[in-house]
Amino acid sequence: MAAEETEISGSIEVEDILDAFESDSPETIQALLRRAHPGDIEQAFERLDDHFREAILDQLPYEILAEWANYLTDADVERRLNTLPKAEQRKVLDSLSDDELVDLLQEIEEKDRPKYIELLPEEKRVVSENLMQYPEETAGGRMTMAMATIPVGLSVKEALEELRAIKEEAELLSRIYVLDGERRIIGKVRMRDLAFSTWDTPIANLMDSDQLSINAMEDQEEAAQMIARYDLVALPVVDDENRLVGVITHDDALEILEEESTEDMEKISGIGGDRGDSSYLQMSVFAHFKRRAGWVVILAFLALTSGWVLLKYEDVLTAVYVLALYLPMVVAAGGNTGAQSATMVIRAMSLGELDTREFGRVVWKESRIGILLGGLLGVLVALQICFFLPAFLLPESLDLTAFNMIDVALVVSIAITAQVVTSTLIGAILPIGARAAKLDPAVVASPAITTIVDVSGAVIFFTLAKMFFF
């Protein structure tokens, strides 16, 4: 990759980079740009105010921009490209690997895209147009076509001669794919096997018969999981005719997994919309507002259901007012355990550890976990009510003689146990049900759990209280 070509004279702390950027000294900044690793620059850029970031981009030489393109946001790269003369724009675009170039072109507004495509050499233009036919979040949308391939039937010497011609273009030479006449994979060979074999050795004697691949239209997350599951350096991508069209490398897989985990985390938290490649500080206040407002408003009004339950059981709270002390605890315990259960199940599904076929096993497991957690909380809260509550709440502040504290302890302990078991099951069932209905489990589970367990907790609590005291 281009980043490996950057001259680095030693590790530079991100804080030192920020200080240099904020110094407004062109000489200091230019010296730093050529010494620091692009990965450290990326972190520093994410923390800069818009004013400083734009000022530094305006000073960025085109050759450094080309090296950093995979580390800066596409918006930053595009902004700097727009200020360069056409000759330098052409050099920057031509220096990008095909997957980096396509990522950039996909982020550029469609009306502005043709003027950049026209600057590309003919071969690169064809490659870019071929890659852009695949949706952005598919395996085809994340692959590179800069791979090393050789036809079957060659000797080691002939194979090395073929590879010598593409050594500058190929992004990955450690895995070389052996193809038949229809470009179908029949195996792969490692560069070290070629290097340490005699020239007349047939490639067929060195290659393995591994034909593992993924269809170009499969989701990018599935591709990343396959790379992790099978410990691959790269994963071949094939078309519907099983012909090799590209590869996804391990560094791309890391980016995909980071993007997918971030997306799931945001959905679980009720944050919607597309964050793009902007960092937290680079996103505007209004952009943050738009992504958060939807579920905040929806959940706020859904919470009125809990208020309706409280209103319905007002007579219970009036008669046994000590129960008001424990209602928030019961509801919160359900929310916490439901969220834990949903998080574990969503993560397991994301990693391919389970799917809808394991529904019964998941329910049985989470039932036992819920009983253990609920039983623990039930015992502890019963002990607190019977022994600690009278000691710390004096009769003049709260008249505890008006109630049978054993009944109070039983109501609260049974309620919290039932709430935890119910919430744990809800947290497990909703994501699996969402997957079965072809919905995103992360989107459905978290907002729904929040409302459902609040309502279920109040209903369980007051139903038990009415049974014991009325």
Write the DSSP string, 375-409: HHHHHHHHHIIIIIHHHHS-TTTS-GGGS-HHHHH
Residue 326 has pLDDT above 70, yes or no: yes
How far from chain centre, in Å, is Cα 395? 54
Give residue 39's pLDDT: 78
Residue-wise pLDDT for 234-268, tens only, equals 999 999 999 999 999 988 888 888 887 777 777 76
pLDDT tens sequence across 73-110: 888 888 888 888 988 988 888 888 888 888 888 888 88
> So what's the pLDDT on residue 5?
39
> What ranges do the domains of the chain cover?
2-132, 142-249, 303-469
Of residues 272 and 231, more confidence is placed in: 231
What average pLDDT score do residues 148-171 get?
89
Residue 158 or 11, more confident: 158
Give the tokens for residue 42: 């990326």
Q: Residue range 22-43: average pLDDT?
A: 75
Q: What is the pLDDT of residue 2?
A: 38
Q: Is the pLDDT of residue 298 over 50?
A: yes
Distance from C-alpha of 163 to C-alpha of 159, rounded to nearest angstrom: 6
pLDDT at 269: 67
CATH dotted code for 2-132: 1.25.60.10
pLDDT at position 446 is 63
Q: What is the pLDDT of residue 9?
A: 42
- Residue whose entry in the numeric block shows the structure tokens 């319905």: 312
Cα–Cα distances (Å) from 341 to 337, 368, 370, 426, 428, in that order, read 6, 12, 9, 8, 6
> Angle CA(23)–CA(29)–CA(30) in degrees, nearest 5?
155
* pLDDT computed for residue 1 by the predictor: 38
Structure confidence by residue, pLDDT tens digits, 163-192:
988 887 787 888 899 999 899 999 999 999
Whether residue 8 is predicted with pLDDT greater than 60 in this model: the reply is no
Helices (H), 96-211: 98-107, 113-117, 122-131, 139-142, 156-166, 191-195, 203-206
Query: Is 155 or 325 the better-scoring residue by pLDDT?
Result: 155
Query: What's the rounded Cα separation, in Å, for the pair 397 and 51?
Result: 58
Mean local confidence (pLDDT), 294-299:
76
Q: Rg for the chain (alpha carbons), in Å?
A: 30
What's the DSSP call for residue 138? Answer: B
Report pTM.
0.68
Please say if the pLDDT value at position 352 is more than 80.
no
Give the model's pLDDT for residue 177.
94
pLDDT band at residue 277 using 50, 70 and 90 as cut-offs: low
DSSP string, 6-75: S---S---HHHHHHHHTTT-HHHHHHHHHHS-HHHHHHHHHTS-HHHHHHHHHH--HHHHHHHTTTS-HH
Distance CA 243, CA 251 (A): 23
Structure confidence by residue, pLDDT tens digits, 100-114: 888 888 888 888 888
- Res 335 pLDDT > 90: no
Tens digit of each residue's pLDDT (9 = 90 or more) over 391-429: 665 455 555 555 678 888 999 999 999 999 999 999 999
The rounded distance, in Å, linking the Cα atoms of 346 and 295 is 19
Give residue 424's pLDDT.
94
Summarize pLDDT for 51-70 with one digit per residue, the tens. Answer: 777 877 887 788 888 777 77
Question: Given this model, what pLDDT does residue 121 score?
Answer: 87
More confident residue, 14 or 412: 412
Angle between helices 250-268 and 327-350 (to 10 degrees): 160
Would you say residue 152 has pLDDT above 80?
A: yes
Using 50, 70 and 90 to split pLDDT, how confident is the model at 7? very low
250-273 as b/e, with b when 16 or more CB fall inside 10 Å?
A: eebbebbbebbeebbebbbebbee
Question: What is the fold of 303-469?
Answer: Tetracycline Repressor; domain 2 (1.10.357)
CATH number of 142-249: 3.10.580.10
Cβ atoms 346, 354 nearer than 8 A: no
| Cα 448 to the center of its chain, rounded Å | 21
Q: Which residue has the tokens 């992360």?
A: 442
Q: In this predicted structure, what is the pLDDT of residue 273?
A: 64
What share of the chain has pLDDT > 70, as a percent?
90
> What is the pLDDT, as a whole number, of residue 445?
64
Q: Average model confidence (pLDDT) for the chain?
A: 83
Given this model, what pLDDT does residue 189 score? 93
For the segment 432-444, what is each residue's pLDDT rounded down to a tens digit? 988 888 877 876 6
pLDDT of residue 374: 95
* Per-residue pLDDT tens over the stretch 362-380: 999 999 999 999 999 999 9
